[in-house]
Amino acid sequence: MRRGFLAGSLVACALLAASSVAAPPTLIGKPAPDFVLKSLDGTNLRLSEYRGQVVLVNFWARWAGDSRQEIPALDRINTTYQRAGLVVLGISVDEDLRRAGEFAASMRVSYPILFDTGSNVGRDYFLEKMPMTILVDRAGIVRYSKTGFKLGDERAYLDQIRELLRE
Amino acid sequence: MNRNRRSVSNIACAVLLTCGWAATAGAQATDASAPAAPDASAPADAAPADVKTLDQEVQGLKKDVIDLNKDLFVLEEELLYPANTQVALYLSMDVGAFFALDSVTLKIDNKEVKNYLYTAREADALLKGGVQQIYLGNLKAGKHELVAFFTGKGPAERDYKRGATTIFEKGVGAKYLELKITDRVAKHQPEFIIKDWE
């Protein structure tokens, strides 16, 4: 009888845990967690210093194939919308700083590449899969989040960016 | 104990004030909505005065909200960092011609308590005379060791890393220490000093 009760309790706990896992945490509508990271050129950049501009934050990794497709698309977006008030920040979560730096330099992107070697920023942003793109509005609120990338997704980014730039 | 009671009573006061303010605001809103109908038929030249009064009321309410936020912040600070165990560390830069600050790492009793990266704007603000509260925490009374590591660009744009250490005595009251970065013109080198503010 007692064993049955114990087993039942365990199942209930497991179900509760599963239900809590089922709903992934989201930052949409909440203030973007601030961070300061070292960039490829050696300067430190802080997210909150871009308040008043629309910021696209892209978490990427050298080993994530989708990132290799997404980075050139983001570079084109940056080139076009930079003058309109868009800031693109690429954040590498590679642990090997040297190889990540080499890879970033080889991509020759026009926007800053930052290094989150301790994965602290990724944790704050509930980063689970790579790549992940976040859009932060002029008030510093997260307005859009997308995990993964396939060709054509940049059109969805553009729609969101145009809307945020108009606000 | 008495302090905690005082803090709790302060919070209670703040909550009551908030409730009172909300009730007042609600009443004002009701009052404002009540005569809305007759106002609609009032002459058109009366409208700007009403708008002005309403604007003043809104400004007043905004000020009340800011004041309440300030009180709550002070209360929170008092609860989290009681003054008798408080240790505050400040960082300042004087001149800085021989050193461009990049980051500071602080260790108290061999435990890392802060690692701060400086952006160009922040370093510039420090050079202009700004003082940064880099760490606020609590320590028990007694002797403690503080080690600060400063990294950046030194003379001739070379990577530069220096440490400064001090042993300070934490008494009954709050403790304030200042990390000062100054230039030693004679040696063309930066100097890192930890100053104990009694």
The residue type at B42 = A
Residue A65 has a pLDDT of 81
Task: Identify the CATH class of B83-197.
Answer: mainly beta
Element (H, E) at B172: none
What does pTM read for this prediction? 0.66
Helix axes A65-81, A153-166, angle to 10 degrees: 30
Which chain A residue's Cα is nearest to B103?
A44
Residue B102 has a pLDDT of 93
Instruction: Point out the least confidently predicted range of A18-22, A60-64, A106-110, A138-142.
Output: A18-22
Which chain B residue's Cα is nearest to A35?
B117
Whether residue A139 is predicted with pLDDT greater than 50 in this model: the reply is yes
Q: Spell out the domain ranges in chain B.
A: 2-80, 83-197
Asked whether the bond before A131 is cis by omega within 30 degrees of 0, the reply is: yes
The pLDDT-based confidence of A117 (bands split at 50, 70, 90) is confident
Residue B47 has a pLDDT of 63
Residue A102 has a pLDDT of 87
Residue B132 has a pLDDT of 94
Q: For chain B, list residues whose CB is within 8 angstroms of any CB belonging to chain A.
A: 102-103, 116-122
Provide the mean pLDDT of chain A.
85
Give me the tens of pLDDT residue by residue for chain B, a chain 198 residues long. Answer: 344 445 444 554 444 444 444 444 444 444 444 444 444 444 555 567 788 888 899 999 999 999 999 998 888 877 777 766 789 999 999 877 788 899 999 999 999 999 999 999 999 999 999 999 999 998 888 899 999 999 998 887 888 899 999 999 888 888 999 999 988 888 888 889 898 886
Dihedral, CA atoms, B62, B76, B133, B86, nearest 10 degrees? 150
Element (H, E) at B173: none
A46 with B119: Cβ contact below 8 A? yes
Residue B34 has a pLDDT of 42
Residue in A86, A64, A84, A65 with CA at minimum distance from that of residue A75: A86
- Which CATH number, 3.20.20.80, 3.40.30.10, 3.40.50.1000, 3.40.50.970, labels domain A25-166? 3.40.30.10
**Higher confidence at residue B37 or residue A33?**
A33
Q: Is B56 exposed, middle or buried (0-12, 13-18, 19+ CB in 10 A)?
A: exposed
The one-character DSSP state at B118 is P
The residue type at A105 = A
A44 with B118: Cβ contact below 8 A? yes
Reduce the DSSP state of residue B128 to 3 states and report it. Answer: coil
Pairing of strands B111-117, B100-108: antiparallel
Whether residue A9 is predicted with pLDDT greater than 60 in this model: the reply is no
Residue B27 has a pLDDT of 43
DSSP H helical ranges for chain B: 2-33, 36-41, 47-80, 120-127
Q: DSSP readout, B139-165?
A: --SEEEEEEEEEEEE-GGG-EEEEEEE
Write the ipTM: 0.71
pLDDT average, residue stretch A44-63: 93
The residue type at A114 = L
B121 with A44: Cβ contact below 8 A? no
Other residues' Cβ atoms within 10 Å of the Cβ of residue B37: 8
Residues A116, A118, A122, A124: is their CA dihedral positive or negative? negative
Of A37, A38, A49, the CB nearest to B121: A49
- Give the 3-state DSSP-derived string for chain A, with helices as H, strands as E and coil as C: CHHHHHHHHHHHHHHHHHHHHHCCCCCCCCECCCCEEEECCCCEEEHHHHCCCEEEEEEECCCCHHHHHHHHHHHHHHHHHHHHCEEEEEEECCCCHHHHHHHHHHHCCCCCEEECCCCHHHHHCCCCCCCEEEEECCCCEEEEEEECCCCCHHHHHHHHHHHHHHC
Residues 48-107 of A with CB under 8 A from B: 49
Joined together, the tokens standing for residue A77 give 């977006």
Whether residue A101 is predicted with pLDDT greater than 60 in this model: the reply is yes
Give CA–CA dist A112/A87, Å, rounded.
9
Q: Hey, which residues does B167 pair with through a beta bridge? A: B145
Residue B136 has a pLDDT of 92
Q: Spell out the domain ranges in chain A.
A: 25-166
Nearest-neighbour CA in chain B from A37: distance (Å): 7
- Write down the residue that tokens 């009954």 correspond to: B172
- Write down the residue that tokens 């990271």 correspond to: A37
Q: Is A120 on the interface with B (CB under 8 A)?
A: no
Residue A2 has a pLDDT of 54
The one-character DSSP state at B9 is H
Q: Hey, which residues does A39 pair with through a beta bridge? A: A114
Instruction: Point out the least confidently predicted range of A34-48, A49-63, B73-87, B118-132.
Output: B73-87
Residue B1 has a pLDDT of 39
- Give the 3-state DSSP-derived string for A71-92, with helices as H, strands as E and coil as C: HHHHHHHHHHHHHHCEEEEEEE
Residue in B146, B143, B138 with CA at minimum distance from that of residue B174: B138
